[in-house]
A and B are shown apart, each in its own frame.
Chain A
Amino acid sequence: MSSLPSEHGGSGLLSRLPGPLRPRTSEDPGTGQMRLIETTLLVIVGLVLLIATVNDLSRQASANHRLQADLTTWRAYTGHDYPNIESDQELFGATSQKEVVCGNTTPGAPKSRTQICLAVWGPVVDGKRTVHGGWYLPANAEDERSLRYGCFGEEEVQELCAR
Chain B
Amino acid sequence: MSVAAQSLSTDPARTRDARWTSALNALFAVLIVAATAEIVIDASAGHTGVVPKQPATAGWLSGLGVLLNYQIFLVALLAATAGYVGLLVLSRRGRWARMSPRSTIGLILVLHAIVFVGPILISTDVFSYIAYARMGVEHGINPYLHGPSVISRDPVFAYVGHDWRRVATAYGPIYTLLSYPLAPLGVVGALWGMKVMALLASLGTLALTWWCARRRGFDPAIATLAVGANPLYVIYGLGGAHNDLIMMLLMMLAVALSIREPHTSGREAGAGAAIVVGALVKATVAALLPFMILSRRRLAPVLGAVGALAVGALVGWAAFGVQGINVVAALNRDAAFVSTDSFATEIAHLFGKPGVFPVDHILLKAGLVLIVLHLMWRTWRGYDWVAASGWALLAISVTSTWLLAWYILWPLPLAVVSRDRRLLVATLAVQGLFIAHQMSPLLVPVR
Contacts and interface: CB of A to CB of B under 8 A. Distances in A.
Interface in B41-76: none
B346 A6 contact: no
Given A57-B443, A64-B443, A46 B429 contact: yes
B155 interface: no
Contact of B349 (A6, A10, A56, A64): A56
A91 to B, nearest CB: 13
Contacts of B387: 1
Question: How big is chain B's contact interface, by range?
Answer: 35 or more
A45 to B, nearest CB: 8
Interface in A47-61: 48-57, 59-61
A53 B441 contact: no
A27 B352 CA distance: 43
A55 B381 contact: no
Interface string A21-56: 001111110000010001100100010111111111
Contacts of A52: 343, 346-347, 349-350
Contacts of A60: 440, 443
A67 interface: yes
B383 A59 contact: no
Contacts of B444: 61, 64-65, 68
A53 B415 CA distance: 23
Contacts of A9: 297, 382
A53 B384 contact: no
Given A9-B382, A26-B382, A55 B420 contact: no
A116 interface: no
Interface in B370-418: 378, 380-384, 387, 398
Interface stretch (B172-180, B190-198, B431-439): B431-439
A interface: dominant SS: helix
A122 to B, nearest CB: 18
Contacts of B352: 95
A81 to B, nearest CB: 11
A39 B426 CA distance: 10
Nearest to A34: B378
A56 B350 contact: yes
Contacts of A48: 347
A15 to B, nearest CB: 11
A109 interface: no
